[in-house]
Structure formats: structure tokens, C-alpha cells
Amino acid sequence: MKRTALLAVALVLGCLTTLPAQNTSRFDGVVDFSLNVAQIDQLVSNQQGNSINPDKFLILNGAMASIEIIRPGEQDFLAVGELVSGNWEGLEKVNLYRVYVIFSGPDFFKRLPARTPTPVPPGTIQANDQLLVVGKMAGIDDGLDGRKAAYINAVYVRTLP
């Protein structure tokens, strides 16, 4: 967990080269560390999803439950994946939370092949992978199950062991 948090901090600092490492107020101004997949799902379920700042980066951790490729061309590539997390309530009930991640552009085309080659190249994103996703809130729309869901524009994705 510490390794994931350190990776996320290093990633955002690397992407925002104009941000001095000592100036944490500017850092907190561009990253929202207060939200995870469960909290975002609950906000959307309670019709409070619009309170999520679309200008701040979100750093989310979860499992990629499914991936649907919408546009397969390299230049206009578009795919949507369901990122899930959950927790046990007692010994018999599991609470499942989800957001949808939008993957667009040539960089994700290379990482989300229509057919996964064997052997699987490093960095390939597949169903059931544990992921660290950095992105921004894109909006709220219907999910695959008909419930409202948050959609996140991915800017960086790392597969986790």
C-alpha cells in the first residue's frame, strides 16, 4: 500500500513539472486524495456526484472487471473499463463499488489489444488486472447495470502485481 501511494505521488509530481515538491498547497490543488472508488460510487448513488471536482486528478486503485472496446482504430481508439473495489460486511456480504474508466488515444490502443497476444506484453491491460488509475472526472451516466456511474478519463494507468 505504501508503495502504491509513493508511486502515485511520484507520478503526479513527474507529470506536473512546474509544481515544486515543497509546495504542498499547490499539489493538493491539483490532486484529490480524499476519494476512492467506493466513495465515488456512493456519491453518485446519493446523487452527489457533481461535487467531484473535474479539474482535479483522482488516483484510484481497483480491479478491472470488464473492458469494452468502442472504437478499435489506433488514432481514434476508445475503450471503457469497469474498475471495481469492494469490502466485506461481516462474514457473508460483500459490498461492490465501481467506476468506469475511459481509455482513449494511441497510447491505450497499444495497451488494450482486441486479442491479447501470448505471451502477454508487459503493461497490457486485461480484465481481472489490479490497476492504479490516474484520471479526471468526465461525468456521470448509466452503467452497464442501468445504475448511474462515474466515468473517469484515464491519463495514466499502471498494472499492479
144: CATH: 2.40.50.140
Percent of the chain exceeding pLDDT 70 equals: 86
In a domain, 14, yes or no: no
Identify the helix (H) or strand (E) that includes residue 12.
helix 2-15
Q: Residue 1 has what pLDDT?
A: 46
Is 92 domain-assigned?
yes
Q: Is residue 125 assigned to a domain?
A: yes
Mean local confidence (pLDDT), 87-115: 94
* Per-residue buried b or exposed e for 69-82, using 16+ beta carbons within 10 Å of the residue's own CB: beeeeeeebbbbbb
**φ, ψ at 109 (rounded to 5°):** -55, -40
* Range name among 12-26, 54-68, 83-97, 105-119 with the lowest pLDDT average: 12-26
Tell whether 129 is covered by a domain: yes
Q: What is the pTM of this model?
A: 0.83
Distance CA 19, CA 30 (A): 10
Judge whether residue 17 has pLDDT over 60: no
Residue 57, C-alpha cell as written in the block: 486528478
pLDDT exceeds 90 at position 16: no
Residue bearing the bigger pLDDT, 15 or 99 = 99
What are the C-alpha distances in Å from 122 to residues 49, 57, 59, 117, 151?
34, 25, 21, 11, 26
pLDDT band at 27 (very low <50, low <70, confident <90, very high): confident
In a domain, 121, yes or no: yes
Q: Which residues contact 141 (CB under 8 A, 6 or more apart)?
A: 148, 149, 151
Give a yes or no: residue 95 inside a domain. Answer: yes
Query: Span 81-86, mean pLDDT?
Result: 97
**Radius of gyration in angstroms for the set of CA atoms belonging to the chain, rounded to a whole number:** 16
By residue range, what is the domain housing residue 138?
A: 32-160
pLDDT of residue 20: 53
Mean pLDDT of 149-161: 96
Q: Kindly report the average pLDDT of the chain as a whole number.
A: 88
139 part of a folded domain: yes
Separation CA 100–CA 98 (nearest Å): 7
